[in-house]
Amino acid sequence: MKRRGATKIVKIVGPLTVNSSMAIVSAAAAGLGLALVPAVLVEQQLRSGNLVSVLEDWECEPSALWALVPQHRQGSRAVRLLVEHLQRALR
């Protein structure tokens, strides 16, 4: 994590391990801990007060997200538009 040019390595240890962003959000909403997820996934919960934002002045290293498209769909306009939308939404 970074703040004001300083980097801090944070080792996360806990009893819960999941590989689903929505499961992470649900766990955080249930009071089980913090969640590091794209803001778009928690907009409604933040507005309702079900979740609150913390560590807002810290930045995390960006992570990669890959769109795997079957070869027969690579020229598809719909697929291209979806990928472009996701790129904009997740920035």
For residues 10 and 46, membership in a common domain is answered with yes
Q: What is the pLDDT of residue 69?
A: 84
Q: What is the pLDDT of residue 49?
A: 94
For residues 76 and 55, membership in a common domain is answered with no
For residues 46 and 66, membership in a common domain is answered with no
Q: What is the pLDDT of residue 42?
A: 94
Give CA–CA dist 21/19, Å, rounded: 7
Helix (H, G, I), strand (E, B) or coil at 3: strand
For residues 56 and 73, membership in a common domain is answered with no
Domain span at 22: 1-60
For residues 11 and 47, membership in a common domain is answered with yes
The Cα angle at residue 87 between residues 1 and 24, in degrees rounded to 5:
50
Low-confidence ranges of the chain (pLDDT < 70): none
Q: What is the pLDDT of residue 25?
A: 94
Q: What is the pLDDT of residue 85?
A: 92
Instruction: Report the chain's mean pLDDT, rounded to a whole number.
Output: 88
For residues 48 and 11, membership in a common domain is answered with yes
For residues 43 and 73, membership in a common domain is answered with no
